[in-house]
C-alpha cells in the first residue's frame, strides 16, 4: 500500500492501460494454423540375426570381430555400459560354471548351448565359462575364446560378457550376465 491508500497493483494496471491505449487488435485472416496431431511412435519390428537362430543352433558362420586383447567384452545394444562395469567388478554372484577344457569346437558349442538353456531355466543371472588360454593348442592361441564370444552374441538372453577377474580365471574364463526372469 502506498501512503495515499492505493495499492501498487492499481498503479501498475493504470500504467499498462495507458501504454496500450492506442493498440488495436489484429484483423482476422483466412489462414488456419495447422498442428500435427501427437501420434505416439509405433516401434518397427526389426529382425536381427539373433532372432532367426534356434536356441540350440549356434553358428560358426556368424563372425563378430572382437579384439584379441585380454580385456575383450560385449554389451548388448540398449544396455548401459554401467552394466558391463558392474559385471567386471563382481556385482553379481557367479551362480553356474562350465569348464570347456579339452573339448573340440563342436563339443564346446553343444555343451555351451545345453548349459545356457539350463541356466536360463534355473533363472541364473551370472555365470562363468572357462575356455582356457589356449596354451595346449596349435600356435598357443585360445581357439574357443573368440568362438564362445560369437556364440554368446547369438543368444538374446546374453546381455553382456567380459573376461573374468584373475581370481575367477582371468584370460582363460569369461563372465556372462543373463536376462533376469521372474
**What is residue 49's predicted lDDT score, i.e. its pLDDT?**
40
User: Looking at domain 1-64+72-182, does it have CATH number 3.30.1370.110?
Assistant: yes
Confidence of residue 175 (pLDDT cuts 50, 70, 90): very high
All cell numbers assigned to 21:
491505449
Strands 96-99 and 126-130: parallel
Residue by residue, DSSP assigns 87-155 as HHTT-SPP-EEEE-TT--HHHHHHHHHHHHHHHHHTT--EEEEE----TTSGGG--HHHHHHHHHHHT-
Asked whether the predicted pLDDT for residue 180 surpasses 80, the reply is yes
Where exactly are the structural domains of the chain?
1-64+72-182
**What is residue 136's predicted lDDT score, i.e. its pLDDT?**
62
Residues 6 or more apart from 174 whose CB is under 8 A from it?
128, 129, 131, 145, 148, 149, 152, 161, 162, 163, 164
**What is residue 138's predicted lDDT score, i.e. its pLDDT?**
67
Q: Which residue has the higher pLDDT, 92 or 139?
A: 92
Q: Which residues pair with 160 in a beta bridge?
A: 75, 177
Q: Which residue has the higher pLDDT, 137 or 73?
A: 73
19-75: pLDDT as tens digits: 988 988 878 777 776 665 655 555 544 444 444 444 445 555 444 444 444 457 899
157 burial level (CB within 10 Å; 0-12, 13-18, 19+): middle
Across 43-47, 89-93, 139-143, which has the greatest mean pLDDT?
Answer: 89-93
**What is residue 69's predicted lDDT score, i.e. its pLDDT?**
47
**What is residue 47's predicted lDDT score, i.e. its pLDDT?**
42
All cell numbers assigned to 46:
526389426
Question: How far, in Å, are 81, 129, 150, 163 from residue 103 at the CA level?
Answer: 32, 13, 17, 20
**What is residue 93's predicted lDDT score, i.e. its pLDDT?**
94
How does the average pLDDT of the chain come out, rounded? 79
Distance CA 101, CA 113 (A): 16
- Greatest alpha-carbon pair distance for the chain in Å reads 102
Amino acid at each position: 500500500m502506498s501512503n495515499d491508500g492505493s495499492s501498487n497493483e492499481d498503479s501498475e494496471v493504470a500504467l499498462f492501460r495507458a501504454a496500450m491505449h492506442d493498440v488495436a487488435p489484429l484483423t482476422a485472416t483466412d489462414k488456419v494454423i495447422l498442428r500435427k496431431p501427437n501420434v505416439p511412435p509405433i516401434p518397427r519390428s526389426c529382425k536381427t540375426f539373433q532372432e532367426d537362430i534356434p536356441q540350440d543352433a549356434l553358428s560358426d558362420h556368424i563372425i563378430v570381430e572382437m579384439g584379441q586383447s585380454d580385456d575383450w567384452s560385449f554389451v548388448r545394444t540398449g544396455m548401459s555400459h554401467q552394466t558391463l562395469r558392474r559385471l567386471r567388478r563382481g556385482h553379481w554372484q557367479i551362480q553356474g560354471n562350465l569348464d570347456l577344457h579339452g573339448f573340440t569346437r563342436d563339443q564346446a558349442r553343444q555343451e555351451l548351448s545345453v548349459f545356457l538353456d539350463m541356466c536360463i531355466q534355473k533363472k541364473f543371472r551370472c555365470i562363468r565359462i572357462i575356455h582356457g588360454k589356449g596354451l595346449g593348442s596349435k600356435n598357443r592361441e585360445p581357439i574357443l575364446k573368440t568362438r564362445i564370444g560369437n556364440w554368446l552374441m547369438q543368444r538374446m538372453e546374453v546381455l553382456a560378457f567380459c573376461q573374468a577377474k584373475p581370481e575367477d580365471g582371468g584370460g582363460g574364463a569369461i563372465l556372462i550376465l543373463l536376462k533376469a526372469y521372474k
